[in-house]
Amino acid sequence: MSLSTILQIIAACAFLAAFPAGAWGYIFYKKQPEDRKHTFLTFLVGALAVFPLLLYKYLWKFFPSINIMEYSKNFENDLVGISGFAMIPVSVIIMFLFVGVIEEIMKMSAVHAVDDNRIRDIDDAVMFAILAALGFAFTENILYFYLIWAKQGPENLLIPFLFRSLFSTFAHILFSGVFGYYYGVAHFAKPLLQQELRNHRHTFWDWYYKVFRWKTAELFHEQHMLKGLTIAVVLHAVYNIFLEMNWTFIMVPYLVIGYLYVSHLFKVKENHKKLGLLLESERNH
pLDDT of residue 282: 47
Summarize the confidence of residues 6-10 as an average pLDDT: 93
Query: Tens digits of per-residue pLDDT, 203-246?
Result: 454 555 555 554 577 777 888 899 999 999 999 999 998 888 88
- Structural domain contains residue 217: yes
Query: Tens digits of per-residue pLDDT, 59-116?
Result: 988 888 888 888 887 887 777 765 556 778 888 888 889 999 999 999 999 999 988 8
**Gap between the Cα atoms of 192 and 185, Å rounded:** 7
- Structural domain contains residue 88: yes
- Structural domain contains residue 115: yes
pLDDT of residue 61: 87
Share of the chain above pLDDT 90, in %: 53
CB of 111 within 8 A of CB of 42?
A: yes
Query: Tens digits of per-residue pLDDT, 157-176?
Result: 999 999 999 999 999 999 99
User: Nearest CA to 53 among 105, 94, 122?
Assistant: 105
pTM > 0.85: yes
203-244 and 169-187 helices cross at what angle (nearest 10)? Answer: 170
pLDDT of residue 75: 82
CB of 70 within 8 A of CB of 95?
A: no
Query: What's the mean pLDDT when you consider all of the chain?
Result: 86
Domain hosting residue 207, numbered range: 21-140+159-279
Per the structure, the count of domains in the chain is 1
How sure is the predictor about 198, in pLDDT bands with cuts at 50, 70 and 90?
Answer: low
Lowest mean pLDDT of 39-43, 198-202, 224-228, name the range: 198-202
- Structural domain contains residue 284: no
Q: Give yes or no for residue 13 having a pLDDT over 50.
A: yes
- Structural domain contains residue 146: no
Share of the chain above pLDDT 70, in %: 87
**Gap between the Cα atoms of 49 and 102, Å rounded:** 10
Q: Give yes or no for residue 46 having a pLDDT over 90.
A: yes
- Structural domain contains residue 147: no
Q: Give yes or no for residue 190 having a pLDDT over 90.
A: no
- Structural domain contains residue 14: no
Q: What's the distance, Cα to Cα, between the start and end of the chain in Å?
A: 48
- Structural domain contains residue 240: yes
